[in-house]
Amino acid sequence: MKVVHLTHTDAGNGGARAAYRLHAGLRESGTRSEMFVASKDTQDPDVAEFNNLPTGVWSRLKHRFRRRRIQRAFEPYQDSRPERAEIFKDDRTPHPGEVLRQSPDPDLFNFHSVYGFIDHRTFFQTVSRPVVWTLHDMNAFTGGCQYTVRCRRFEDACGRCPQLGSDDENDLSRQVWSRKKTAYQHTSGQNRLHVVCPSEWMAEEARASTLLADVPVSVIPYGLDTNRFFPRDAEGVPAAFGIPDDHRIVLFVASDTRPRKGFDLLDNALSGLGAEKTTLLSVGGDEPELDSDLPHVHAGYVESDLLLSVFYSLADVFVIPSRQDNLPNTVLESMACGTPVVGFEVGGIPDMVRPGETGWLAKAENVRALRQSIEQALTNDEKRKRMGNRCRAVVEEEYTLETQAAAYKCIYEELLRENAGHA
């Protein structure tokens, strides 16, 4: 059995890291796994990179015309979109048939984050292999947004999209939704599409959508290499960042600080924090602006798993204040390093953060409850240590790459059996 994973890249953001980890886990389990990506960042010889440069005058002209057409469709919303809105992606690309033409030939495709990479209608109309689609965000069943925040229009047919700042029923989100609906019908009716969600919450949202109403949905949590993420000796590291030895460390990790990530909620919670001698350590591409008087150290973007695991290990508690999230890799990474977690009871966070066992949960967007949870974590050393040990045990029991790979192999084999003779 040969699996080819299609995704934007093999490193970087959470979805890309999760896709690559699955690829690595499958190879460790003996499955032939390859990746085909829009942009390659690793040195893995089993990852091939897409060539998006058309050859020939006519091909270049078609590519340029189609790119401009896609851009023009989005231009009317440039001024109406809310400030720092979620990412919005069209279902079309300037290279509609090229990804499938250049891709290695598998027995089965595993999609990940493919918006902007595959042209949905062209790909689904022409692909002859079964497809498993791992949902790292909500884009597969929306009219273009990665996360809907509070919008439920994906349960119908989108349109009047708040992410576009639109009051038009037939806006770009409705057009994208309609094209996706047509595209999916080519595989869902033939039992050649199976959706996998890392969290129970994402599975519920996918089943509630009209786009995936006829598609089977399974839940398989992310896996983690516990030989890369484990409790490490971080002695001397806080001092290297200017953090006093007697300070408790609250850790925040996010690739960006858009509103969905909830840093403003964490900032408000820290403003009235009762715990003394506490420092906030943040890791990510964006340096968050802290209004509270709490000492703050920003370590910047960290790509190395080794260094990330050191940061998780030196922290007393990891806080994830997201307003909406799937199954954040950061929570698993923290738990694997023996650091308990504080977060809101949203998305897939409760799948991992179990009150009294692996951390503390606060009601969604309740700043006061978040503050109280952080205070409890910082003022009870014995309980925090006990939870840290349990965090590590839960990851070893439920979230290893071996467990994840075995679950995916069952889905792959079942889908291939159902499609035997149709390839």
Q: Residue 57: what pLDDT? A: 87
Tens-binned pLDDT, residue by residue, of the chain (423 aa):
999 999 999 998 889 999 999 999 999 999 999 999 999 999 999 999 999 888 888 889 999 999 999 999 999 999 999 988 889 999 999 999 999 999 999 999 999 999 999 999 999 999 999 999 999 999 999 999 999 999 999 999 999 999 999 999 999 999 999 999 999 998 866 689 999 999 999 999 999 999 999 999 999 999 999 999 999 999 999 999 999 999 999 999 998 889 999 999 999 999 988 778 999 999 998 899 899 889 999 999 998 999 999 999 999 999 999 999 999 999 999 999 999 999 999 999 999 999 999 999 999 999 999 999 999 999 999 999 999 999 999 999 999 999 999 999 999 999 999 988 554
Polymer length in residues for the chain: 423
Neighbouring-strand partners of residue 249: 279
Residue 230 forms part of a structural domain: no
Residue 204 forms part of a structural domain: yes
Distance, CA of 334 to CA of 18 (rounded, Å): 15
Positive or negative torsion for Cα 162, 166, 167, 169 = negative
Q: Residue 421: what pLDDT? A: 57
121 and 196 inside one domain: yes
256 and 282 inside one domain: yes
Q: Residue 25: what pLDDT? A: 98
β-pair type (32-39, 2-9): parallel
Q: Residue 420: what pLDDT? A: 85
Distance, CA of 311 to CA of 334 (rounded, Å): 9
The encoded tokens of residue 257 equal 């600080």
Residue 232 forms part of a structural domain: no
137 and 248 inside one domain: no
CATH number at residue 303: 3.40.50.2000
CA dihedral defined by 160, 165, 168, 174, rounded to 10 degrees? -50
Q: Residue 423: what pLDDT? A: 47
Residue 229 forms part of a structural domain: no
394 and 405 inside one domain: no
Write the burial class of residue 230 (CB in 10 Å: 0-12 exposed, 13-18 middle, 19+ buried): middle
407 and 365 inside one domain: no
248 and 182 inside one domain: no
Distance, CA of 293 to CA of 407 (rounded, Å): 47
192 and 253 inside one domain: no
Neighbouring-strand partners of residue 33: 3
195 and 246 inside one domain: no
81 and 141 inside one domain: yes
Using alpha carbons, list the distances in angstroms from residue 351 to 97, 257, 279, 369, 392. Answer: 39, 23, 28, 19, 15
Q: Which domain holds residue 356?
A: 237-398
Residue 247 forms part of a structural domain: yes
216 and 252 inside one domain: no
281 and 157 inside one domain: no
* Overall domain count for the chain: 2
Distance, CA of 255 to CA of 314 (rounded, Å): 20
298 and 379 inside one domain: yes
Let me know: does 248 contact 273? Beta carbons within 8 Å: no
Q: Which amino acid, one-letter code, is at 224?
A: L
Let me know: does 378 contact 247? Beta carbons within 8 Å: no
Report which DSSP code applies to 141: G
**Closest to 215 (Cα-Cα) out of 207, 223, 227:** 207
Ramachandran quadrant class, 248 (left: phi over 0; alpha: psi -120 to 50; beta: rest): beta
The encoded tokens of residue 276 equal 């003394």
